[in-house]
Structure 1
């Protein structure tokens, strides 16, 4: 393992690096999705309410959400919200669930925007109306801040076998997650980690699961971040920590290697929105052979200049050619020692002060 001598901040100053996540773990702050349950809708809505109207409600309520989120003491929130005695009144999270369900009829959750009616057929993601969960387990191989992490792994999307796994309804999964948490405690289970494939095709389902969770468990969104602006709006007020891939430093590389159009503009837009939402961000960059200058260097530079030099950033050297990668000359081999050294050098030169090799 290549290394260089310097202190790693995240091991000693987690509060500064991931402040929201840390406050939730210490019981000083509510999870964002729990807070969304305390923002009430003034005008009732149902399945007949036009989607445009629902988005209008959402915009207004998110302004209120962020004004409350900025308060440091949640007792103030309780006092303000408990004046409403109607426990059946609809909330911001109810509204997000309704909008998510509507979007499935003409799906635009990911930036492919296939517009398929996923209530009757699968989208380009190969995911239908009933998500399949391939595994739920306590993961000890994630970043130190996250483990042990209860990982909920969906089939489909990037995963090659979309039929793998079991179908669970939201209440069943919510109960399963809470049983883990009660059995393990905060030290034995620090968060719930939504991953795939990619979790974005299953966002409406996940919103319903979060609706049924009563515990204050941090929500980690483990994603390639190639989702739509509409999905970003639904995630705002739900996610506590974005565990984000940042693979490529140019649209050309994103198109050539992952068949993603406008890769950089989409991912950058969503990362900036994630930061604006008040959530914490942890970036992963997988170093690819022959892509040090175009991708590794550019990714580190963009993060340092746009998200800040203190952003938690993992430089990953685990790449090995799998599936069709062996057919692409650029990436059909493992990294050389010189490439690993250069990747470390250009990342350090970007100005990032909170990155580690992993």
Structure 2
């Protein structure tokens, strides 16, 4: 048992129940989903098959995958990996097909990003850029543990949040280093072998990089080991490169092969097609649920269809029996229009989910009066939330019976070992 499993946060029955699969994979008691996907064989070459046929095959194989996943959760052994194409390669091929008429998110731009001659909402072609990767010690306790969350930060976003605290990477598509899937796999491989409890795919927004991430995970599922050149390229964005982390290869394997829980840390503004692919590969999900059902997502993030998209996707996680926790950022002057409806929806639809009702909002990007980028139209959020706004938010979460206090207050309460 590692230091992660010994944290007192797991003594809470609600947290343990909601995140038990994640913990088992982090502890290498179970294989990650990508390892299971590699055991589900295809009977044809996905590269030589039409996209419609690929989607039909995904629909046919998903119940087989789910049954195998549930059997492994109940103690069944992991079958051998398929010798030929598997569900891993099917997911990779589908992600690249989607890239040619990009529908990763509800903007549904239908741009051929592989060609790179036109650009959609995310302003990206096929290339993906990484701003940094590192042992993240700022995530929720069950993710950061004692060794950090193995975070890979992508640039660009499909939303335009005026207050984005990562505005330097979300609004600048040229930030960071252009990174291919093999180098991404090298980053994940290194972080896990250095002791990180998970691989945390985050941005910006990650769904706009779905093809590259799925490709990297497929490599890891096929016993990828980085070359020296790939490790050197990965090192360029290692934000904690001045700290020494001993490699502990035995802490990164299940049954002798690389293993790590995949954490999808997202604004959740993505299509059902993206969700279907990620269902096969994601061990634990971290949706960010910011805005209520009114016009706030349009006013503050220039994002239509926000409420219906995010609520649909979170409801799918519950329907699918996935491990997940939810983040909600309390914003000044948006408690009644955003915080209350978000918390009430969670209470009515996914009441068992751990929720982080966050107090970390500060004026940044276009709503920071000290910034040259400041815009007067964002004056309503150009301050921190008041103590009263935060207390009102937490009181409402408490009245609704949400599982939020340990997740939201663990730093204050020093919950740990």
What is the TM-score normalised by the length of structure 1? 0.89
Is residue 232 of structure 1 aligned with residue 275 of structure 2?
yes
Counterparts of 2:335 and 2:190, CA distance in 1: 44
Instruction: Tell me, in whole angstroms, the C-alpha distance in 2 between the residues paired with 1:212 and 1:288.
Output: 40
Relative contact order, higher structure (CA 8 A, sep 6+): 2
Is residue 85 of structure 2 the alignment partner of residue 90 of structure 1? yes
Task: State whether residues 134 and 150 of structure 2, in contact with CA within 8 Å, keep that contact through their aligned partners in structure 1.
Answer: yes
TM-superposed CA distance for 1:246, in Å, is 0.5
Instruction: Look up the SS of the partner of 2:287 in the other structure.
Output: strand
One of 127, 131, 138 as aligned partner of 2:128 = 131
Number of residue pairs aligned between Structure 1 and Structure 2: 340
Call closer, same or farther: CA 1:352–1:74 in 2, change over 3 Å: closer
Q: What does residue 172 of structure 1 align with? A: 183
Alpha-carbon distance change, 16 to 133 in structure 1, aligned in 2, over 3 angstroms? same
Whole-angstrom CA distance in 1 between matches of 2:214 and 2:321: 19
C-alpha distance in 2, partners of 1:295/1:277? 26
Instruction: Report SS of the residue matched to 1:150.
Output: strand
TM-score, normalised to structure 2's length?
0.77
C-alpha deviation, 1:10, in angstroms: 5.2
The alignment status of 1:260 with 2:303, answered yes or no, reads yes
Q: Contact 1:192/1:220 (CA < 8 Å) preserved in 2?
A: yes
Q: Cα distance, 1:325 vs. partner? A: 2.7
| 2:201 corresponds to 1:150 | no
Which among 308, 311, 322 is matched to residue 353 of structure 2?
A: 311
Tell me, yes or no, if the aligned pair for 1:220 and 1:243 is still in contact at 8 Å. Answer: yes
Counterpart among 242, 259, 264 of residue 216 in structure 1? 259
Q: How far apart are the structure 2 equivalents of 1:229 and 1:12?
A: 32
Question: Which string of whole-angstrom CA distances, capped at 9 and with x for unpartnered residues, describes residues 66-102 of structure 1?
Answer: 1111114587453xx44x8x61x11011001001001
Residue by residue, what CA displacement relative to the aligned partner does 1:304-337 show, whole Å, maximum 9, x if unpaired? 21112x3110011111122223532331222112
Unaligned ranges ≥5, structure 2: 1-7, 160-169, 224-257, 369-375, 410-417
CA root-mean-square deviation: 2.0
Q: What's 2:138 paired with?
A: 141
State how 1:101-120 maps to structure 2 within 5 Å: 101-120=96-115
Shift in Å, 1:168: 2.3
The aligned residue for residue 95 of structure 2 is 100
Change (3 A) 1:167 1:74: farther
Q: Residue 10 of structure 1 contacts residue 312 of structure 1 at CA under 8 Å; is this kept in 2?
A: no
**Residues of 2 paired with 1:10 and 1:76: CA distance?**
24
Aligned equivalents of 2:305 and 2:183: distance in 1? Answer: 38
Distance 1:176 1:337 in 2: 40
8 Å CA contact 1:232, 1:274 repeated in 2: no
Choose the corresponding residue for 2:207, options 172, 177, 200: 200
Stretches of structure 1 lacking an aligned partner (at least 5 in a row): 1-7
- The aligned residue for residue 20 of structure 2 is 19
SS of the counterpart of 2:360? coil
Structure-to-structure mapping, 1:224-303, within 5 angstroms: 224-303=267-346
Aligned equivalent of 1:3: none
Question: 1:10·1:17 contact (CA, 8 Å) conserved in 2?
Answer: no
- The 8 Å contact of residues 297 and 350 in structure 1, kept in 2 or not, is answered as no
What CA deviation, in whole Å up to 9, does each residue of 1:178-222 have, x standing for no partner?
23322x2xxx31001001101001111101100111411010001
- How many angstroms apart in 1 are the aligned matches of 2:213 and 2:106? 19
Shift of 1:274: 2.2
Q: Secondary structure at the match of 2:156?
A: coil
Task: Give the structure 2 partner of residue 353 of structure 1.
Answer: 403
Q: Look up the match of 2:252.
A: none
1:46 deviates by 3.9
Give the 3 Å change call, closer, same or farther, for CA 16–47 of structure 1 in structure 2: closer
SS in 1 for 2:281: coil
